[in-house]
Structure 1
Amino acid sequence: MIAIVCGVSGTGKSTIGKLLADALALPFYDGDDFHPDANVEKMKSGVPLNDDDRQPWLELLANEIASWESRGGAVLACSALKESYRQVLAAKCHGRIEWIMLHGTAELLNERLTSRKGHFFDLRLLASQLSALELPDYGWTIDIAPPPSQIIDNILMRLNKE
């Protein structure tokens, strides 16, 4: 199984992704770890990435997803803000992807990002991510307000129904 936990920065993709991977006994990967240095520097400087910046990163992740699928699956935390990005990510995957879109209010996201330490994401980029966000009409959109344990229970319950 491939599960992709998506959303804008501050939604808890890494936290939820790690917890989900543990619950499913699958490896966890963070899409941020695959960004080239130029993308990281751009984001650190408060400059939003454009589609040209993201394309090689998305293609690299698509290759990784295919590799993880062949080895039994994985959970990936990745923003996957636009439908076109999700199409690139899914292009080389032969099976179904469980898309889990984490979503919350701008106020909650601002609060989380303001208190976060040691991450390269610049708070000024949140507005650009929110404006680029295209919520899918497939998969699940999950409210981030509850505690992580409750979010994981919700996701696992949904997975068990399928």
Structure 2
Amino acid sequence: MNTVIADWFAHAQQAPEQAQREWRETGVALLPLGIRFVAVRLAEDLVHAAVDTAQPQELAARLTRLLNGPVIFDGRTMGGTYYALMRPRIGSPWKHQDLAPRLGVGTYLGVPNLDRRKPPGTYWTVLPRFEGDLCAPRAVESLIVHAVSVSQEPEQ
């Protein structure tokens, strides 16, 4: 596991050693959102519509190009959920809260250790590349808007 990146995530907690312990013991650390990063919860079908594939390697490649930042997949939830990790935008409204909620202060997210890159459970679909690597809010919004437009197109 890249220790610089892991340390950056671990410091989302007041006691970063707790995150390190959780990664060692369970492979997933429960981290608070809102200060260092936030997460946008994206339903699996929304992401599949946006990238036009469900094939894991192609999906990861397309999310890498579109979001240019880290994405976690949690397959333990109904149908699966993606979490795009994003920079916090203080005082900026999120227009997509009903469809793709932005989770922040008061919410915790299971963040896998950087070695978890495939199922089962929670794993990285797109790894962070460096300390502080996060998706730009505009990129996440574009993905959501595209998914909605594709979903609303009449089938031929």
User: TM-score of the superposition, structure 2-length normalised?
Assistant: 0.26
Q: Which has the higher contact order (CA 8 A, sep 6+)?
A: 1
Q: Which has the higher helix share?
A: 1
User: TM-score of the superposition, structure 1-length normalised?
Assistant: 0.25
Q: Which has the higher strand share?
A: 2
